[in-house]
Amino acid sequence: MTVYIGITPDYLEQAERILNLFFSQLISILKSCQSTTLSLNINAYWLWMNLPQWEG
């Protein structure tokens, strides 16, 4: 499963709540899934959480 979310750095502050909700729901779904082949790559989320403050 691949999910792309496009949010530019100048909207990170406004998008923070919806992104947190999206990832928390996605992780909950994956944890409840019985498939052993399904995995979640959270590198994009880690990157988003560690981006420097945008000064556009």
Percent helix, strand, coil in the chain, to 5, is: 55, 0, 45
- Mean per-residue pLDDT of the chain: 69
Task: For residue 37, name the pLDDT band (cuts at 50, 70, 90).
Answer: very low
Cα separation, 1 vs 29, whole angstroms: 12
Cα separation, 11 vs 53, whole angstroms: 11
Cα separation, 15 vs 7, whole angstroms: 8
Residues in the chain: 56
pLDDT tens, 39-54?
A: 555 555 665 666 665 5
